Structure 1
Amino acid sequence: MDLSSLLKAEIAKKQQQLQKGIKEASAVANNSLAAVKAASTTACDNEKEETADDEDINHSLDNPIREVTAPENTLLDAERLRTRPERIARIRDEDEKMDTAIGASCIGDKNQEPHLAIKCNLYIHHLLRQWEDTGYKPELILETKKSLLPLLVKLRKRKLSSEFVTSLSTILYHIQQAQFSLATQSYMKLSIGNVAWPIGVTSVGIHARSAQERIQGKDKIANVMLDEPTRLWITSIKRLISFSELLERRKKSQC
């Protein structure tokens, strides 16, 4: 075999190896994406299951206390398990009908706070779905979802403190308005322990003022230092700001 034939054979071999490597890398990427989406679905269902569990607890608390026999208790548990998928489906249907637009006038309104918490929950889910669909930094999406899960559960159960709801909804409001500089400023306030308010919101209720004064007192601790779960979800909010800003730039470049 002459030198030319040897070179051709070697080149063909290298090309085959390269194609094999590309296919293997593509398979790994597809498997990773599938794993992320599966984890996302599981996390979302777990969040709604916890809400369904709360409904069970609230139902038990609302009913008159009486002695329940062991067979009755077993039947009640079985019924709750049987109807849980239906209750989760009902929660999902209600979510799909809700408008996730956050109005500045609602932020800080104590009467609007439960509704606002659900809007924040749903809009964060919306941003995460966009993140998945665009393929933005896929190595971070699963970690971000895990970090945000405690926050999403608290929002779903309306158990997030008023000052956190105010600051978080302010950040998400600015994201929706494509005001990313203001969103980042609000994020910084949230991180160091100050309550963030939308620009132009001057009507602050007594409850909100007392919460703001309390969190801004001389002994305040930066929110990112409160505990590890809080630190993780706060830093994950910054990732959502960065992703949203990139997405907006992409949209403008396509116009």
Structure 2
Amino acid sequence: MKTISKKALSTAVATVLMGVSALPVHSAAIQKVISASSEITNSAASSQQKIDKIAEQVQEKLMQFRAMEKETAGLDIYNGQIQKQINSQIEEMEQLNKDIDQVSVIERQITPLMLRMIDGLESFVALDVPFLPTERQERLTSLKTMMDKADIAVSEKFRRVMEAYQVEVDYGRSIEAYSGLLELDGQERDVDFLRIGRVALMYLSRDGSLIGRWDNEQKSFQALSPDYRMHITKGLRMAKKQLAPDLLTLPIPAPVLVSANTGL
């Protein structure tokens, strides 16, 4: 058995003591490393949370941007359509302004025309079969009075003149019965008039004793044969809607043919 020298033993003991004395130093370093690693981990987790939050915000902003982009595209289309409508309205306004500028010219031209139309209507009534003389003359007088009034628009005056013409046109395609006074043999008599368009105007006295018709050539009423009494009475009842329409035998003057000289 070998004997350990005193020197070697002293060296071994010194080495063990040195190792034992170094243990606290390494433990503190390891603890520092662990603490630093924990701090790094916590910092990384906090950074990741911030990154996730920023990513969510970016995604939300991106969605808002896309929604605004889509809305902007819709507004561009809408604005384009509105602009077309505005352009159309501007064109209409320009046309209206032109029309307004011509109103005064039109008024100056249409007023003489209406006066000529009234004069022509008056001449026509004077030459026509003399039915409803009071009513037709009052209509003409009303038109003449209207033309002198400044508070009536030109359009309204023209409408009333055309309305009077339409009334006269309607007389030519209707049958009518009305009562009135007629001078017969120097005495005014109550009679019933029967008008058939403009081709016939006949009368029948209330007692049925007198009958006659208007003769447009002689411009006077001429007596008729009593044979027509029944037909005139029937015509009066038809005109009053008291009898269904039927054929009538009445003395209707033949139409007059007028030849025109064309110069050919």
**TM-score (norm: length of structure 2):** 0.28
Task: Flag the structure with larger Rg.
Answer: 2
Q: Which has the higher strand share?
A: 2
Q: Which has the higher helix share?
A: 1
Higher relative contact order (CA 8 A, sep 6+): 1
**TM-score (norm: length of structure 1):** 0.28
